[in-house]
A and B are shown apart, each in its own frame.
Chain A
Amino acid sequence: DIVMTQTPLSLSVAIGQSASISCKSSQSLKYSDGKTYLNWVFQSPGQSPKRLIYQVSKLDSGVPDRFSGTGSETDFTLKISRVEAEDLGVYYCCQGSYSPQYTFGAGTKLELK
């Protein structure tokens, strides 16, 4: 199985500050079609997961442009500029290049400083 390693596992930020989460995969996520199927999924407390970003950097509809995704092959980063209260929760990276065995990182909990 592809192992997804996220760091840090916990992140304390003040409202208005920026936050950055790293995700590394145990193998390259570049698929045979040339695309890289790396997603970022967000779960606010008590809610179900919601995808924010797909194919490394494409924002889902309605996702603010404060969110951005970068990376390639095995190294990926989610950046949140100007954190707002609604951004607090757990962020997971998730690979789909080895579908159907989607695998997730352990999650990064974004908390208020």
Chain B
Amino acid sequence: EVQVLESGGGLVQPGNSLKLSCATSGFTFSTAWMYWYRQFPEKRLEWVARIKAKSNNYATDYTESVKGRFTISRDDSKSSIYLQMNNLKEEDTAIYYCATTGVAYWGQGTLVTVSS
């Protein structure tokens, strides 16, 4: 059974940083391309970042609004991915989900609230 579990969310002030983690099991993580999505308070869903596998040199992609502020990474030995979020803005407030390729499997999400 595929399992995806996010952690690390919380309340932060604008300009501060936060690092999200996503632990997985039940599939061959090392060859999987992994994604972060977010869901805004109004329920809109948005793709945030993607990281490819080692065979693709761990290439990364980001949605335009987070480029230069967010960094996606992975640790194949722990079947986990991460999202380092710097210089957070109020508009980054959302539930952040980790998911597998093709939006096939999602975690339960972790809430990030950016507010002074």
**Residue in A90, A101, A102, A107 whose CB lies within 8 Å of B103:** A102
- Known contacts: A100-B35, A101-B47. The answer to whether A49 contacts B108 by CB under 8 A is no
Chain B neighbourhood of A54, CB < 8 A: 102, 104
Q: Which of B23-55 contact A (CB under 8 A)?
A: 35, 37, 39, 43-47, 50
Total interface residues on B, CB under 8 Å, equals 20
Query: Is A32 interfacial (CB-CB < 8 Å)?
Result: no
**Residue in A47, A51, A92 whose CB lies within 8 Å of B45:** A92
How far does the Cβ of B38 sit from chain A's closest Cβ, in whole Å? Answer: 11
- Cβ of A48 and Cβ of B44 under 8 Å apart? no
Closest residue to A54 on the B side, CB-wise? B102
Chain A neighbourhood of B61, CB < 8 A: 100
Question: Once A and B bind, how many residue pairs between them come within 8 Å at the CB atom?
Answer: 49
Chain B neighbourhood of A101, CB < 8 A: 47, 63
Chain B neighbourhood of A92, CB < 8 A: 45
Query: Is A57 interfacial (CB-CB < 8 Å)?
Result: no
How far does the Cβ of B81 sit from chain A's closest Cβ, in whole Å? Answer: 14
Q: A-facing mask of B46-73, CB < 8 A → 1, else 0?
A: 1100100000000001010000000000
Chain B neighbourhood of A48, CB < 8 A: 97, 106-109
The CA of A47 and the CA of B104, in the complex, are separated in Å by: 15
Q: Which of B80-100 contact A (CB under 8 A)?
A: 97
Apart from A48-B107, A101-B47: 20 A-B pairs, beta carbons within 8 A: A37-B102, A41-B103, A48-B106, A48-B109, A49-B97, A51-B102, A51-B103, A51-B105, A54-B102, A60-B104, A92-B45, A96-B102, A96-B103, A100-B35, A101-B63, A102-B103, A103-B47, A106-B44, A107-B43, A107-B44
Q: Which residues does B use to contact A, with CB under 8 Å?
A: 35, 37, 39, 43-47, 50, 61, 63, 97, 102-109
